Amino acid sequence: MALSSEIDSRDRGGPAQPLLIARELRKHFPVKGARGKSVQAVDGVSFTVRKGETLGIVGESGCGKSTLARLLLHLIIPDTGELVFDGEAVGVADGIAVNTLRRQVQMVFQDSYSSLNPRMPVRDSVAFGPFIQGRKKTEARDIARAILGKVGLDADLFGPRYPHELSGGQKQRVNIARALATDPRMVILDEPVSALDKSVEAQVLNLLRALKRQLNLTYVFISHDLNVVRYISDRVLVMYLGRIVELGPVSEIFERPFHPYTKALLASRPSMDPARRIEEPPIIGDPPNPIDPPSGCRFRTRCPFAEAVCESTAPVLGEWLDMQSHVAACHMQDPASGHSKAGQA
Amino acid sequence: MDGGVELPLVEVSDLNVKFVSREATVHAVNNVSFAAKAGEVLCILGESGSGKSVTLRTLMRLLPRQARVEGGVRVNGKDVLAMRSRELRDLRGGLVSMIFQEPMTALDPVYTIGQQIGETVRRHTGCAHKAARARALELLELVRIPSAERRLDAYPHELSGGLRQRAMIAMALSCNPRLLLADEPTTALDATVQVQVLILLRRLQRELGMGMIFVTHDLGVAAEVADRIAVMYAGRIVETGPVAQVLANPLHPYTAGLLASTVHGQDRDRDIDAIPGSPPDMRRLPHGCSFAPRCPRRTAQCRAEIPEPTFPAPDRMAACFNLSASAG
C-alpha cells in the first residue's frame, strides 16, 4: 500500500511545489438573533505547507485553529479564499474536486470516541474508507488489518472490538489507522493528543513521528500545547482571533519570538521547576470575543506596547519568502509603521 | 520538626472507596493515607481513573450513593465520615470549600454571580441581603475581577472562562474556609489565562493562610503551585514528598516514567521515553503492584504482593519494592 520511497506516483509538482497553499481563507459565522454580526473565526489566512514537513498551528480557544483545519478539507466551505493542493486549485472548474482532495488529505480529531461509529467494530470503521473509495470488501479488510498493525494494535485482538471496549489511547490509534487507510499524503491532526493521559500522549506522539517517516506523510498539527508543538513541528504558525500573528521555523519561534502575543504564550508555560515559578502573569485578561474583535491589531487590547497606530491600522504579516522565513504581524516589526518601538526589536 | 506539635488540618487514614453496581465493583481508592498542614499546598497528581478526584470529593463527602467509603477522614479534627447531613451542610462552603474544573457547569446559569455568592454568605453567616451583596463585591475585588460592581449582576454565560473561574474562586472563599479543595481548576482554561489563575490561587492561599489540596494531571501545574506532591496510580498513593525533591529525584518508577514522558523540551530527534501500555482497568486490578505490568523494574515479588509504603528519606514516601538507586 503506502510507498516508502521518496518518489510518490501521485506527486505532480515535484518536491519544490508546496503540497498545500491556502490563500486569504475567510470564514465568518453569522450570529443568530444579532443582525449583521458574525463570529470572525478565520479572517484572511494565507500560508503554505511544504511536502514532508510538519506545520504546527497554535493558539488559544476561539482563535480559529479548528475552523481553519476544517476549511483545509472543505468540511466547512470558506466564504472567500482559495486552496491549492499540489499545484491544483480545489473545487473549481479546471482544478481538482473536493472528493479527490479528501482522498489525499485525512483528518484526526481530538475526541477519539465521538469520531468512531459506536455500532461498528473498529476494523470495519478502518475498512470503511478504502471500501467507499472503490476497493473490494476483502481488500478493504486486508488494508484495515495491515494498518491496525502499523499503529501498534493487534488486528485479531482489537479489530473485532467496539469503540467503548478500547482505552482512549487505543481509540486514538484506531482513528489514526482510519485516517491512514485511504493512503493519504497529508494528515490534519486537530488536537490529537489533548484528551490523552501524559503517559499515553508520549506513545501516540512517537507513533505519529514513526508513521510520518514510514509513509512519507505531511502533517498539519493543531494544538494548544506549546511543548508538544515544539517537539513535533518543523514550522509553527501562531493564530490569534482568526488571524496569523506569527509564522516561522520552530527554533526561531521558540528562541526568537517577534510578536508580543507569541512571547506571552511562551512565557505562560509552566517551568516544571518549583524554583523558577512564574511570579507575574505575562499578560492579563482573557482573549476577547471573536464576534466583536478589536479594530486594527486584534491583540492590542491585551498588548503592553499598544499605541494609536495599533488601533487604527491592522498590521500585515511580513513578506514570506521561503521555508526559513520568520514573519510576524506587528507594527513594531515594520520600521515605517509609525509605532514608537518600530524596528527596535 | 521545629515549632512544636501541630495537628494536621487534613488527616486521611486507610481510605477505601468502592463503587458497587450490579455489573462490577470499581475499587477507586485503595488504602490511601495522607495528611496536609494548614497553610500548605498539597498536589494530588495522577492520570484519569487514578482516584485523585474521588479522594478529593471524599473530603467533603460529595460522592454518589453507590459509593462505599471506609477508613478515616478528619478535617480540622472533625470526623467527616461520621457527620450527619446538617453538620455536612455547615462543613461544605464553611470550613471546606471546593472549586471545580468546569465553572460553567458548577455555577447556576439562572442566577447572577452576586446572587450566588450572596446566598452562600447568608447561609453560613445569617447576615442580611445588603451585607451579603457587599461581601460579594469585596470577594470579586479580592479575586481581581475588573469592574466588579458591574459583574455582580452578570450571569455566568456573560463572563469569559477566566472570569467565571475567578467568580467560582470568590464563591469558594466567601466564608473564609480553612481548607480549599481544587479539582483541576485550570485545565479548561487557555494557557495565558491558566497562569493568571494559578498565580491568583497561590497568592490567596498564602494571604489567607488556607490549606489547599489541588488535584491535577499536569506536572507543570503541580510544579507551579505545590509545596508537597502525592502521586496516585490505580487508586493508591505511590509516592509523596516535597515538590522540588519529587520532581528532581523521583523514587517510584511511575513518577520517573511520568516525568520522562511529559513533553517539555526533549530532543526533537529522539523518541520520548513513554511508559508502555495503558493504566489498568479499575474493575479488574492486577495482583500485586498495579503498576507492575508497565514497570521497567518489576520482579516476581511485584506480581505477588502489594508494596507497603517505605520512607527512604525524611519526608519522602514511596510504595515500591525496587526503589530508585539514587534514593536517599
As a whole-number percent, the residues of chain A with pLDDT over 90 amount to 77
A341 Cβ contact partners less than 8 Å away, ≥ 6 residues apart: A305, A332
Q: What are phi and psi of A327, to 5 degrees?
A: -130, 155
Task: Tell me the chain B residues in contact with residue A199 when contact means C-beta distances shorter than 8 Å.
Answer: 47, 257-258, 261, 274-275, 278-279
**Of B56, B64, B62, B67, the residue nearest B26 (C-alpha):** B67
Angle at B17 between CA B13 and CA B19, to 5 degrees: 175
- pLDDT above 80 for A3: no
From chain A, the residues in CB contact with B203 under 8 A are none
Q: What is the pLDDT of residue A1?
A: 44
What is the rounded CA–CA span in Å between residue B129 and residue B121? 9
Q: Which of B191, B221, B244 sits opposite A60 (nearest CB)?
A: B191
Shortest Cα distance from B89 to chain A (angstroms)? 34
A33 touches chain B (CB under 8 A): no
Question: Given A201, A206, A268, which is nearest B195 (Cβ)?
Answer: A268
Could you report the per-residue pLDDT of A307-342, keeping only the tens digit for each? 999 999 999 998 878 888 999 999 999 888 889 988
Mean pLDDT of A35-54: 92
* pLDDT for position A175: 97
Residues 155-174 of A with CB under 8 A from B: 167-170
B-side interface with A, Cβ within 8 Å?
A: 47-48, 146, 160-163, 190-196, 198-199, 217-221, 223-224, 226, 243-244, 247, 257-258, 261-266, 268, 271-276, 278-279
Contacts of A201 in chain B (CB under 8 A): 261, 263
What is the ipTM score, two decimals? 0.88
User: Which residue among A202, A277, A283 sits closest to B192, beta carbon to beta carbon?
Assistant: A283
Sign of CA dihedral B84, B86, B88, B94: negative
* Cβ count within 10 A of residue A99: 10
Residue B61: closest CA among B39, B89, B21: B89
How far apart (Å, rounded) are the C-alpha atoms in residues B255 and B245? Answer: 12
Chain A residue numbers touching B258 (CB-CB < 8 A) = 198-199
Query: Could you please report the per-residue DSSP string of A48-108?
Result: EE-TT-EEEEE--TTSSHHHHHHHHTTSS--SEEEEEETTEEBSSTTSB-HHHHHHHEEEE
Cβ B223–A197 below 8 Å, yes or no? no
Q: What is the pLDDT of residue B103?
A: 85
The residue of chain A nearest to residue B275, with distances taken between CA atoms, is: A199
Within 8 A by CB and 6+ apart from B281, the residues are none
Mutate to test the interface with A, among B193, B246, B247, B255 (most CBs of A within 10 A): B193
**Nearest residue in B to A272, CA atom:** B220
pLDDT digits (tens, 9 = 90+) for A80-96: 999 999 999 998 888 89
Residue A140 has pLDDT above 80, yes or no: yes
Interface test with A, best of B42, B214, B217, B264 (most A CBs within 10 A): B264
Going along chain A from its start, the domains and CATH numbers come out as 20-333 (3.40.50.300)
Please tell me if residue A281 touches chain B, with a CB cutoff of 8 Å.
yes
Of A227, A264, A279, the CB nearest to B192: A264
Rounded distance, CA B7 to CA B27, Å? 30
Pick from B161, B191, B274: which is nearest to A203 by CB? B274
Contact A319, A341 (CB under 8 A): no
CA of A39, closest CA in chain B: separation in Å? 16
As given in the structure block, the three cell numbers for residue A171 are 481509540
Q: Do A286 and B258 touch (CB under 8 A)?
A: no
User: Cell numbers of B72, please?
Assistant: 478515616
Separation of first and last alpha carbons in chain A: 50
The residues in A 219-248 lying below 8 A from B, measured between CB atoms, are 224-228, 230-232
Spatial CB neighbours of B142, under 8 Å, sequence gap ≥ 6? B170, B173, B204
Number of A/B CB contacts below 8 angstroms equals 129
Q: Which pLDDT value is given to residue A6?
A: 54
Nearest-by-CA chain B residue for A265:
B192
Average pLDDT, chain B: 92
Which of B192, B223, B263 is the closest to A270 by Cβ? Answer: B223
User: What pTM was computed for the model?
Assistant: 0.91
Q: List A residues 59-78 in contact with B (Cβ-Cβ < 8 A).
A: 60-61
Instruction: Tell me the chain B residues in contact with residue A205 when contact means C-beta distances shorter than 8 Å.
Output: 263, 272, 274
Closest CB to B263: pick one of A169, A227, A278.
A227
Is the pLDDT reported for residue A264 higher than 70?
Answer: yes
Average pLDDT on A191-210 reads 93
Which of A202, A272, A289 is opposite residue B223, by nearest beta carbon? A272
* Interface membership of A209 toward B (CB under 8 Å): yes
**Alpha carbon of B164: minimum distance to chain A alpha carbons (Å):** 11
- The residues of chain B scoring below 50 in pLDDT are 1-4, 326-328
Average confidence (pLDDT) over A113-122? 94
